[in-house]
Structure 1
Amino acid sequence: MTINTERPQAASTPARTTRSSGRGAPGPTAGGKRAPRRTDGWWPWLFVLPLLIGVGTFYIWPIIQTFWYSFTSWGVFGGATFSGVANYVRLAGDPQLYQSLLNTIVYTVIVLAGIPIAVWLASLLNTPGLRFAQFYRVLFFLPYVAMPAAIALVWRIMFNGDYGIVNWFIGLFGIDGPYWISTPGFALVAVSFVGLWSSLGFSMIILGAGLKDIPPELYEAAELDGASRWRQFRSVTVPLLSPSIFFVVIVTTISSFQLFDLLYAILGSTNPVIPKTMSLVFYFYSAGFIDNDKGFAAAIAMVIFLLIGIVTLVQFRVQRKWVQA
């Protein structure tokens, strides 16, 4: 009789599969190890919640509230009543709106004209071996971080028509200088020049940082090809510096549309040239805090908000064709 000594084989058990019981539940992998648990729940939102609260409280809610106020009229002692689009109709027929818009555009164009000067200064201060380059950078950047009231006080003395240093310098060439602060056309030019001077250091620092990111090998290759200095600047520097230039243009444009502090500190609120020189923000200040017309001032604020948004949108559309990443 033959005895079977082979051990019986164990019945094969089917592999147990794990069905995900919910979102983000780990499942089996090819190596038999479980995948790490996903953490994309509400935890990330908890960390950004303080920022969202701040943005909503200090940015989004004031915009919504201002938009609502623009459709209301206010009494002397408070109390808002719905007035529809009356504030916007009144604003569209007010010549001061168009004068303020023109003044703001002129100021913005003059300040933007300082960007080529900032490019030249940044190129000059990035020259290898230049002594005291860091000192000059700090010197040019100081007006940007200085108090606008202090800047305005100094320039108000310098633009004085009787004893100011500006008219003294012009007089060296046999020219009688005007009364800059009390003459409508010259007052806006004086404020615009101060704005250009105070923003020059910021533009120079940003553009200087962009120049340092340009590889020097590109200039060496262009020089070997016989390119002149102007050709190198046009074909190498400007295309590679275009992102920094675009950033400076955006920031300068937005800050120029918000012109108020320099204008108020240099000219004051009772100067006879104010109606011919005031900016959009000064127009808003005059309506809201001098005339105490909150609904009309809110309509002006919404127009300023819309104009800045349109200008920024146009600049970003231009970025696609001009800025090279």
Structure 2
Amino acid sequence: MTLTTTRSGAAHAAPVKGKDRSRRSEALWGLAFIAPTGLGLAVFYLWPVLQTAYFSLTEWGAFGGHTWTGFDNYLRLAGDPEVGQALRNTLLYTALGLAAIPLAIVFAALLNVKGLRGVGAYRTLFFLPVVTMPVAIAMVWRWLYNGDYGLINHLLALVGLDGPNWVSDPATALYALVVVGVWSSLGYNLIIFLAGMQAIPKEYYEAAAIDGAGPIRQFFKVTVPLLSPTAFFVSVVSVIGSLQLFDLVYVMSGSGAAARANPAFPRLQTVVQLFYDRAFVTNDRGYAAAIVMMLLVIIIALTVLQFRLQRRWVHYG
């Protein structure tokens, strides 16, 4: 009787061992497939972050080499008014830049109308700034904003208005950048929202039409609520991109002494531009690393906040 039990137990144990080997084999194959991507992330993303975190705790000499200084750079950050101004500029630009999201929803809804002629041409025109080099965009808008011979001021002069020096006037400089940022990101956001609208089942609109809802009411009662996951994705991407603004400001205002000669320089400088100035102009690389680590913490904090707000929105919605 004992021998039978043992044989029976062995017979039942064999499939279990086979399943374990199969699972280990699947796990190894899965690790093998993600290893190239994981190695790339570790080498090109994780290691630079760790290296920058270390450099932020050091001070660099004029001819290379660095010495450990601890948290001196972060204490210096707390009392640097230029960092505070650059941070305020960046956060204000980010907040105002979110205006591209409702604009993109409205334009996506208009392009989603059935029977609209030239839809392909409209979509191409809206998406064109996305595939255009940011430097080219900044140079064109710099000419448009020119206070002496810019097209915008020329058009204003035709109706008897005297336009300001848009990028040189502290009152208008940052808002002029916001307009360019919204214009250049509108096409990308529009395509994402258009894809989200086309994924909404038509039955919802048919049911709303039966209940007597017109196109405008359908837009606010059906389209906008069902686009909330898409809007969440676009808002996260937009905030991260706005916080890293650099190329637009660099081309339109310059860097170093040329940028500081601009009367609107304090209202134009962003955190990334300040990092570039400290790292590559004044060669204060330890302090520059601390600046960019501060920006990384802000990006992570705002992203986590957006995720929490999204969960509450879904819960209460």
TM-score with structure 1 setting the length = 0.88
Match of 2:243 in 1: 257
Match of 1:308 in 2: 299
Contact 1:161 1:177 in 2 (8 A): yes
List aligned pairs for 1:1-325, cutoff 5 A: 14=4, 16-17=7-8, 18=10, 25-26=17-18, 37-38=22-23, 39-269=25-255, 270-271=258-259, 272=262, 273-323=264-314
Give SS of 1:25's match: helix
CA distance in 1, matches of 2:133, 2:75: 38
CA distance in 2, matches of 1:177, 1:221: 51
Q: Per the alignment, do residues 37 and 115 of structure 1 end up closer, same or farther by CA in structure 2, a change over 3 Å counting?
A: closer
Bigger mean CA deviation after superposition, 227-236 or 248-257: 227-236
Partner deviation per Cα, 1:243-281 (whole Å, 9 max, x = no partner): 111111111110000000011011111132323310110
Give SS of 2:172's match: helix
Moved runs in structure 1, 4+ residues, more than 6 A? 19-24
Contact 1:20 1:26 in 2 (8 A): no
Contact 1:24 1:37 in 2 (8 A): no
Q: CA RMSD in A?
A: 2.3
Give SS of 1:245's match: helix
Partner deviation per Cα, 1:301-321 (whole Å, 9 max, x = no partner): 110000000000000001112
Any stretches of 5+ residues in structure 1 without a counterpart? 1-12, 28-34
Give SS of 2:200's match: coil
Point out the structure with max Rg over C-alpha. Answer: 1
CA distance in 2, matches of 1:188, 1:22: 71
Matched residue count: 307
Amino acid at match of 2:47: W
Q: Per the alignment, do residues 60 and 14 of structure 1 end up closer, same or farther by CA in structure 2, a change over 3 Å counting?
A: same
CA distance in 2, matches of 1:24, 1:301: 52
CA distance in 1, matches of 2:56, 2:15: 46
Task: Name the one with the larger helix percent.
Answer: 2
Any stretches of 5+ residues in structure 2 without a counterpart? none
CA distance in 1, matches of 2:15, 2:295: 46
CA distance in 1, matches of 2:21, 2:300: 44
Match of 1:7 in 2: none
